[in-house]
């Protein structure tokens, strides 16, 4: 009885060993085929999430791996390559078997322009420099006045003498963007810390006051502009620095 039990155990152990060996052989054969056949060579690279960057720009930034074996591609390295691009905030690369790569990107977007010497620095809402140009295109994003920056470099954060100035600017930009106001702003003047001035594209001048209660003021400004539009008022000035409630000045006064 004991001998039979031992034989059965040995037989089962041998069977498991054979199965494992067969599995291992199949695995190695699969690996060999995978690296030598064209079946797993990358035929295309799909790009998702790009709004301003072209597919070609994204692929070139990642590294063009077409016709490379999909198993040889280092997706982490591709993600790192993408993040070196100033307009790429986040990147993710996935394999799509048998022969595709999917690149997902989250882009940084230009939100304001700051003059520097004879050039113009384009930055996102976090103060990251995206490009430096000889001309300013303020048709869609506001120009920032009254703030001095130092040694601008693409991909770096804007450097100012006073960190508080940059923090105040970022708060105004981010909040204005949140309330869909940013595209209406032509310029923001920070030269007077206690009385920030905002000029809108429709000609309205806003005396914003100091950089406190930014969210409250910009929410209020959005409501005022909606009301002005509905009533078709010819507004010239909006004062937030004359008391608790804003004052609106029209042609009729």
In a domain, 226, yes or no: yes
CA distance 59 to 57: 6
On whether both 75 and 160 belong to a single domain, the answer is no
Pair 132, 101 in one domain: no
pLDDT score of 162: 81
One domain for residues 182 and 59: no
Secondary structure (DSSP) of 123-157? E-TT-BEEEEESS---SSS-EEES--B-S--TTSB
Q: Quick check: 193 pLDDT over 90?
A: no
Domain annotation covers residue 151: yes
- % of the chain surpassing 70 pLDDT: 85
Tell me, yes or no, whether 138 and 232 share the same domain.
yes
Quote the CA–CA distance of 33 and 41 in Å, as a whole number: 12
Q: Which of 85, 107, 129 is the last residue of a domain?
A: 107
Q: For residues 250 and 253, give the distance between their C-alpha atoms in angstroms, rounded to a whole number.
A: 5
Q: Are 175 and 198 part of one and the same domain?
A: yes
Q: What contacts 235, CB < 8 A, 6 or more positions away? A: 204, 228, 248, 249, 250
The pTM of the full predicted model, rounded to 2 decimals, is: 0.82
Instruction: Give Rg (Cα) of the chain.
Output: 30
For the chain, give the longest Cα–Cα distance: 112
Residue 11 lies in a domain: no
Same-domain check for residues 69 and 124? no
In a domain, 33, yes or no: no
CATH code of the domain containing 59:
3.10.20.310
How many structural domains is the chain composed of?
2
Residues 131 and 246 in one domain: yes
Could you say which DSSP state residue 214 is in? H
Q: Which long-range contacts (CB under 8 A, 24 or more apart) does 84-87 make?
A: 84/155, 85/53, 85/57, 85/61, 86/128, 86/129, 86/130, 86/131, 86/154, 86/155, 87/52, 87/53, 87/130
C-alpha dist (Å) from residue 32 to 4, 26, 27, 69: 42, 10, 9, 12
Q: pLDDT tens, 105-115?
A: 999 999 999 99
pLDDT at 163: 82
**Whether residues 189 and 123 fall in one domain:** yes
Last residue of a domain, one of 62, 77, 107: 107
> Shortest CA distance to 73 belongs to which of 82, 64, 85, 83?
64
Within this chain, do residues 176 and 212 fall inside the same structural domain, yes or no?
yes
103 and 137 co-located in one domain: no
Domain closes at, from 56, 86, 107:
107
Asked if the structure places residue 8 within a domain, the reply is no
Give pLDDT tens digits for 133-173: 999 988 889 999 999 999 999 999 999 988 888 999 999 99
pLDDT digits (tens, 9 = 90+) for 8-64: 555 666 666 666 666 666 655 555 555 566 778 899 999 999 999 999 999 999 998
Phi, then psi, of 60 in degrees rounded to 5: -65, -35
> Do 194 and 71 belong to one domain?
no
Segments forming the whole domain that contains residue 176: 112-250
From the list 146, 156, 153, the residue with the least C-alpha distance to 208 is 146
Question: What's the DSSP call for residue 54?
Answer: -
Q: Do 99 and 160 lie in a common domain?
A: no
In the numeric block, which tokens belong to residue 54? Answer: 């072209």
pLDDT of residue 11: 63
Mean pLDDT of the chain: 88
């Amino acid at each position: 009885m004991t001998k039979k039990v031992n034989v059965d155990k040995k037989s089962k152990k041998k069977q498991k060993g054979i199965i494992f060996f067969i599995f291992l052989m199949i695995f190695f054969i699969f690996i060999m085929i995978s690296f030598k056949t064209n079946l797993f060579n990358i035929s295309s690279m799909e790009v998702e999430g790009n709004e301003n960057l072209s597919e070609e720009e994204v692929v070139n930034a990642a590294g063009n791996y077409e016709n490379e074996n999909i198993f040889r591609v280092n997706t982490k390295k591709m993600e790192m390559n993408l993040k070196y691009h100033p307009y790429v905030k986040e990147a993710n690369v996935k394999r799509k078997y048998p022969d595709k790569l999917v690149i997902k990107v989250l882009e940084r977007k230009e939100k304001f322009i700051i003059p520097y010497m004879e050039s113009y620095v384009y930055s996102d809402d976090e103060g990251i420099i995206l490009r430096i140009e000889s001309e300013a295109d303020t048709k869609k994003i506001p120009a920032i006045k009254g703030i001095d920056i130092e040694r601008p470099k693409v991909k770096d954060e804007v450097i100012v003498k006073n960190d508080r100035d940059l923090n105040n600017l970022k708060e105004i930009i981010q909040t204005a963007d949140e309330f869909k106001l940013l595209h209406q702003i032509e310029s923001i003047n920070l030269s007077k810390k206690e009385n920030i001035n905002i000029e809108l594209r429709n000609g309205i001048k806003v005396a914003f006051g100091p950089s406190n209660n930014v969210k409250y003021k910009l929410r209020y400004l959005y409501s005022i502009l909606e009301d002005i539009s509905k009533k078709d008022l010819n507004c010239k000035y909006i004062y937030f620095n004359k008391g608790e409630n804003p004052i609106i000045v029209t042609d009729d006064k």
